Structure 1
C-alpha cells in the first residue's frame, strides 16, 4: 500500500482528498503546516504540497521536505499557479506541479509519471498564447518571487504603489 502526505492548511480539502485516496486503496496523512510535516517519522511515497500554507510558503518548505524525505516524489498543488512558481518549484525539487482544482485521479496519475517530458513540441507552444492579463499576472508573480515575497520591494521594482500591488494580489489570477 502506498502512503502519501498532504501538506495543506484547508481541512475540508484534506478530508475530501483523504476519502478519495482511501477509495483507491491509498493512505493519505495530513499535515496542516510545515512543522507537522517535518515531524513525521515515516517517509511517504509521495508528498502533495500546497504553495500557500496560511502564513507559510510552500516554496520555502519544499527544500526542507526534499532533504527530510529524499525518496518521496513531491507534487506542488496550488490555486495560484504561475509559470515562475512552477519553474521555481521544479528547481527546488518538486517532480510535478498542478493547478487547483485537481481531482484525485489527476493527482494519482501525476505520481505515476513523476518525470516531466523532456521536450515540448513547438506546435504546442504556438497554440498556447496567454492573454495580456495572464502575462501581467505572471510577471507580477515573478517580480514578487525575486523579492522573496516582500510586497513593498516588489512594488518599488514594478514602479507602483504598495497598496495597488496588494489589491492586485488579492484578486484571483487570470486563467487564460
Structure 2
C-alpha cells in the first residue's frame, strides 16, 4: 500500500481524533509513514485545544465520541483555520450524518474501517474530482432506512414528529429505529 504516490502539500500537519485507541494509533502510524506530521488525540477537548493553539492543515475526525461530537471540532478548526481540510469517519454511516458533516465544513465522509489510502484520497482530492461509483450500491431497504434516519435527525430525534411526517405509526417507527441498518 505504501507504494502509491501522492502530490503532497507543503503543510502536512494532520489531526486525528478518535476515541478508539488502537484504530487511532494504526491510522496515525500509517499517515506518518505517508509523510504527514500527525497529532493523534482521543477527546473533543484535546482536539479543540489543538485547533486553538496550532490548527493543522488536515484533520480526520470521528463523528461520535464518548465526550462529544466531531462536528464541534470541525467548527473549532474552521474558526482558527478556515482552509483546514476535514474528513469525518464514523462507524454509524448514514446519509443524515454525512449531510451534517459536509454542512459543518468537512470535505468528505468515510465509514469505518477506512484504509489510510482512502483517507489520503479524500483529504487531497480537488473539489472538481468526482468520486467513483460505489462497487456495492445501497439496497432499496437500506435507502429506505437512510431516509427514515435523515427525517428522524431533522426532527431532532423526536419519534412522534418523525412518525407524523413519514405518515407512519409511531410504534412501527420505533421498531425500525431499534434495528440495525440493512445491508
TM-score range, shorter chain: 0.7 to 0.9
Equivalent of residue 4 in structure 1, options 14, 28, 36? 14
> Residues of 1 paired with 2:85 and 2:149: CA distance?
25
Query: Could you tell me the TM-score, scaled by structure 1's length?
Result: 0.78
State whether residues 96 and 115 of structure 1, in contact with CA within 8 Å, keep that contact through their aligned partners in structure 2: no
Q: 1:101 to 1:129 in 2, by over 3 A?
A: closer
What's the CA shift string for 1:61-100, capped at 9, x where partnerless?
A: 4323322332210111112222222222212211111122
> Residues of 2 paired with 1:30 and 1:108: CA distance?
16
Q: 1:116 to 1:35 in 2, by over 3 A?
A: farther
- 1:137-156 mapped onto 2 (5 Å cutoff): 137-148=145-156, 150=157, 153-154=158-159, 156=161
Q: Could you say which residue in structure 1 is the equivalent of 2:127?
A: 115
State whether residues 48 and 73 of structure 2, in contact with CA within 8 Å, keep that contact through their aligned partners in structure 1: no
Which 4+ residue blocks in structure 1 deviate beyond 6 angstroms? none
- 1:1-176 mapped onto 2 (5 Å cutoff): 2-40=12-50, 41-115=53-127, 117=129, 130-148=138-156, 150=157, 153-154=158-159, 156-158=161-163, 159-161=169-171, 164=175, 167-168=178-179, 171=180, 173-175=181-183
Q: Which runs of 5+ in 2 are unaligned?
A: 1-10, 164-168
Structure 1, 9-18 or 31-40: larger mean CA deviation: 31-40
Cα distance, 1:55 vs structure 2 = 5.0
Query: Could you tell me the TM-score, scaled by structure 2's length?
Result: 0.75
SS of structure 2 residue aligned to 1:97: strand
Q: 1:129 to 1:99 in 2, by over 3 A?
A: closer
Q: 1:72 to 1:131 in 2, by over 3 A?
A: same
Q: 1:164 to 1:99 in 2, by over 3 A?
A: same
- Superposed CA RMSD in Å reads 2.8
Structure 1, 8-17 or 101-110: larger mean CA deviation: 101-110
> Residues of 1 paired with 2:118 and 2:42: CA distance?
22
Aligned length: 165
